[in-house]
Each structure stands twice: as structure tokens, then as C-alpha cells.
């Protein structure tokens, strides 16, 4: 079996080929078009913590190492998950850490029209149906899939009015994509997730829909994010295909675990970062991503100069086998 590093190197070579093929003629007026546009998309459910710093740093360095743009998107599509003030606190912390983003910050809470338009297109294509299954019923009737219970298709042929939850009719095709670290990933979304909800009965657009629409409409070419989202990627690709969007290049980064083996997150109260002394956390995050810069950097400016220069996908630690 090939190591993660070899897979990542092969994938990186393939990635270059794809970019070269997308830009076959080096015409001067095309030179300014970015062939790499990355993003970091935190959920503002609390302060930026070490786990999300890893995703921010990995996506930033990969973008800069490829002369790409790096955009910020606040994923505040689900109001109950938003902690007041935390979007601003995340932006302030990223600024204090020395991240420099391109263009304006995008807020999902301001993009409802784009999500509604995508839903309309899917309704016109016959890809959406109404579902009034209760949470209790879903739990009882479903088998467990890659990311929670598999929806058994209870409402598929019921022709319910579209004033309930709007569910996406997943095709029976198998989704296969090449992750730059995980390698080849295959998923039969219909069997492993089932039809999934795009608009909840309470009027909230779901994460899968918002992310897919945003990444496509904002022209994101490379998605570098934590491997906790690897299970979501096939659903996003199946939606991209239904909406006629291109599929970006994916790199899912290893996720930092706490001492109990659980994911570091705001829920497990990972220690907040310090904006008055940002270098130690940046150095730890860089080390986690395979870059040991501790001996060579004494200032933020030195850190960013060196980190962008030495970033290599091939140095990333392998993903832990999970599932």
C-alpha cells in the first residue's frame, strides 16, 4: 500500500497537470486569472481554536505556495449554532495571527437568495421532494451510514407539497474523487447517506447546500479543510453535478485530537488562542502539518515568510484510518 505522502505527491503532480490543461494557451490577458482560489470557512460558534487554526493555516499556505488567492467565508447559515460576536472575534484573531485574505469576507447569512435560486433550479429539474418525517421516525427507520442514519426514501414517492423539509433526490451513481492526501475516495451516496435535506422545514438552508453553492459561485478551485469533512464531500460533489458546477480539487487535512482521542472543537473547549502572543500556536499548527520551524523563526514576519516557502503537501502526516 502506498503511503499518504506518496499518494499526496502523485496527486499533486496530477493536480498540476489539470491546471496546465485548463490553461492551455498562456495569453497575456489570461495571466491574471487565478488558477488557484482557496478559502477558509469557519463556523462562528465560538472563538478560533487550535483545531480550526490548522485548517486555516493549511489552506492559507497551500494557496500562497501556489500563488493563489485565499478567501474567508463565515458559515453562519444555521442561526442556533452562531455565537453572538464570534465571527468578529475569529476575524480579529486571524488578523492578529498575520493571515491576509483576499476580497471581502462572505457571510452565508447574507446569501439566502443564492441558496433559494439553487433550490428552485433543482425543483425544476425534479430533483427535490418534500419530506415530513419526524426526527424520531428517521432515527427508528434508518440504518447507520457514513455520517449518521441513512434516509430510507420514505417520502420519495409521496408527492408532498413543498412546504415541508426539501430533500434532494440522490442519483444511484457512485461518486469517486481524488483527494490530495487521502487518495482515491469512492462513495455510493444513495446507499451511504440517502436523499439528504437541503432546506429544513424551519426555513434554514443546510450546510451541504450552502457550501456547495458558495464554493461554486465564488469560484473556489481548491478546498483545503479538515478531514472531519471528508464524509461530506461526496454529497457536495453529487450536488455540484446536479447544479452543473465544476468539482474543485480537494485536500483534507489531518484533524488534531485531544488526549481522549476526540476531535478538538469548541464543544470540547479547546484552549482559545492568544492574540497577544500568536507565534507559539502558529508554530504548533505548522509542526502538526509537517513543518518544523521552531528553530528558525523568532517573529511573525519570519514565520510567514519561511512557512510559505517550505510548505509541501508531501510533508503532511497521513490521515488516520477511520470509518
Nearer to Zn ion, 155 or 316 (CB): 155
Beta carbon of residue 287, minimum distance to Zn ion (angstroms, whole number): 47
Following DSSP, what letter does each residue of 274-312 receive, concatenated?
Answer: -TTS-HHHHHHHHHHTT---TTT-SSHHHHHHHHHHH--
Per-residue binding letters, 186-225, with Zn ion (x by CB under 5 A): ----------------------------------------
> For every residue of 128-186, which 3-state class applies, written as one string?
EEEECCCHHHHHHHCCEEECEECCCCCCCCCCCCCCCEEEECCCCCCEEEEECCCEEEE
Candidate ranges 29-37, 86-94, 152-160, 170-178; the one touching Zn ion (CB under 5 A): 152-160
Candidate ranges 14-22, 147-155, 228-236, 292-300; the one touching Zn ion (CB under 5 A): 147-155
Q: According to CB under 5 A, which one of 54, 56, 97, 155 is a site residue for Zn ion?
A: 155
3-class SS of residue 29? helix
Nearer to Zn ion, 154 or 312 (CB): 154
State the pairing for strand pair 175-179/165-168.
Answer: unpaired
Nearer to Zn ion, 49 or 167 (CB): 167
Q: According to CB under 5 A, which one of 131, 223, 282, 307 is a site residue for Zn ion?
A: 131
* CA atoms of 9 and 313, how far apart (whole Å): 7
Is 133 among the residues that bind Zn ion (CB under 5 A)? yes
Question: Helices 233-243 and 207-217 meet at what angle, rounded to 10?
Answer: 60
* CA atoms of 265 and 270, how far apart (whole Å): 6
Is 154 among the residues that bind Zn ion (CB under 5 A)? yes
Candidate ranges 36-44, 81-89, 148-156, 177-185; the one touching Zn ion (CB under 5 A): 148-156
Binding site for Zn ion (CB under 5 A): 131, 133, 154-155
Amino acid at each position: 500500500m502506498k503511503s499518504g505522502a506518496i499518494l499526496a505527491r502523485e496527486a499533486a503532480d496530477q493536480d498540476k497537470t489539470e491546471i496546465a490543461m485548463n490553461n492551455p494557451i498562456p495569453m497575456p490577458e489570461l495571466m491574471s486569472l487565478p488558477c488557484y482560489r482557496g478559502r477558509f470557512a469557519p463556523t462562528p460558534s465560538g472563538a478560533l481554536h487550535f483545531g480550526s487554526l490548522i485548517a486555516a493555516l493549511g489552506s492559507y499556505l497551500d494557496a500562497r505556495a501556489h500563488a493563489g488567492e485565499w478567501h474567508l467565508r463565515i458559515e453562519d447559515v444555521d442561526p442556533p449554532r452562531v455565537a453572538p460576536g464570534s465571527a468578529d472575534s475569529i476575524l480579529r484573531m486571524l488578523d492578529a495571527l498575520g493571515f491576509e485574505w483576499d476580497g471581502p469576507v462572505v457571510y452565508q447569512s447574507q446569501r439566502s437568495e443564492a441558496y433559494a435560486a439553487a433550490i428552485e433550479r433543482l425543483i425544476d429539474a425534479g430533483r427535490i421532494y418534500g419530506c415530513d418525517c419526524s426526527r424520531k421516525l428517521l432515527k427508528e427507520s434508518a440504518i447507520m451510514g457514513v455520517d449518521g442514519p441513512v434516509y430510507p426514501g420514505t417520502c420519495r414517492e409521496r408527492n408532498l407539497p413543498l412546504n415541508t423539509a426539501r430533500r434532494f433526490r440522490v442519483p444511484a451513481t457512485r461518486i469517486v474523487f481524488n483527494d490530495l492526501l487521502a487518495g482515491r475516495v469512492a462513495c455510493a451516496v444513495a446507499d451511504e447517506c440517502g436523499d439528504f435535506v437541503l432546506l429544513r422545514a424551519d426555513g434554514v438552508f443546510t450546510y451541504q447546500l450552502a457550501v456547495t453553492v458558495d464554493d461554486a459561485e465564488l469560484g473556489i478551485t481548491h478546498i483545503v479543510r479538515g478531514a472531519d469533512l471528508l464524509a461530506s464531500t461526496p454529497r457536495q460533489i453529487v450536488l455540484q453535478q446536479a447544479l452543473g458546477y465544476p468539482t474543485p480539487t480537494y485536500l483534507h487535512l489531518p484533524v488534531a485530537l485531544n488526549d481522549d482521542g476526540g476531535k478538538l472543537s469548541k464543544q470540547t473547549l479547546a484552549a482559545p488562542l492568544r492574540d497577544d502572543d500568536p507565534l507559539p500556536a502558529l508554530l504548533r499548527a505548522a509542526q502538526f502539518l509537517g513543518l518544523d520551524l521552531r528553530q528558525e523563526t523568532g517573529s511573525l514576519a519570519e514565520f510567514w515568510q519561511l512557512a510559505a516557502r517550505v510548505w509541501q503537501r508531501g510533508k503532511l502526516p497521513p490521515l488516520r484510518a477511520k470509518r
